[in-house]
Amino acid sequence: MTGEMAIAVHALVYLDMHADMISSEVLAENVCTNPVRIRKVMSKLKKAGLVDSREGIDGGYYLRDDVKKIRLSQVMEAVQVEAVTMRWHTGNKEKDCMISSGMAEVMDGLCGELNEECRKYLSGVTISDIEQRLRL
């Protein structure tokens, strides 16, 4: 799971707990990264309809939806991040060996199934659940 997911969740919690318009610079300071990265993530959240933004002076980001309704599975989808990835594959499709030629696809399929399990689990966790966990 890439850092963009963590940034998205962090930013959504921050926006909910502050209510006014928040700039990428303020978010970057709290998240501990640079404003450009924040803007890239927020841009995806905006495209997914979870937040809105205003350009220009006193601009920034603000929540669109009630945070209780935002599920982490939606956030994952918005930032286009997969929980389980396989960036390296074994074997070789061209080889005349059932194992070597087929293993990559089988492992990719398995990762897909794991991702679906994660998606299901994350659909049961909302941003306000995360806020609750922060308070404990």
Nearest to 75 by CA among 7, 18, 8, 15: 8
Question: What track of x and - describes contact with DNA for positions 21 through 60 (by CB under 7 A)?
Answer: --xxx-------xxxxx-xx-xx--x------xxxxxxxx
Q: Report the SS3 class of residue 15.
A: helix
d(CA 64, CA 61): 10
Residue 3 Cα to chain centre, angstroms = 8
x/- string (CB under 8 A) for a second copy, residues 70-89?
--x----------xxxxxxx
Least Å distance, CB 135 to DNA, is: 26
Strand residue runs (E) in the chain: 51-54, 60-63
* Residues of span 92-131 touching DNA by CB under 7 A: none
**63 near a second copy, rule: CB under 8 A:** no
- Residue 25 binds a second copy (CB under 8 A): no
If one asks whether residue 23 binds a second copy (CB under 8 A), the answer comes out as no
Retrieve residue 3's tokens: 């850092």
Based on the shown chain and the rule CB under 8 A, indicate whether residue 35 belongs to the binding site for a second copy: no
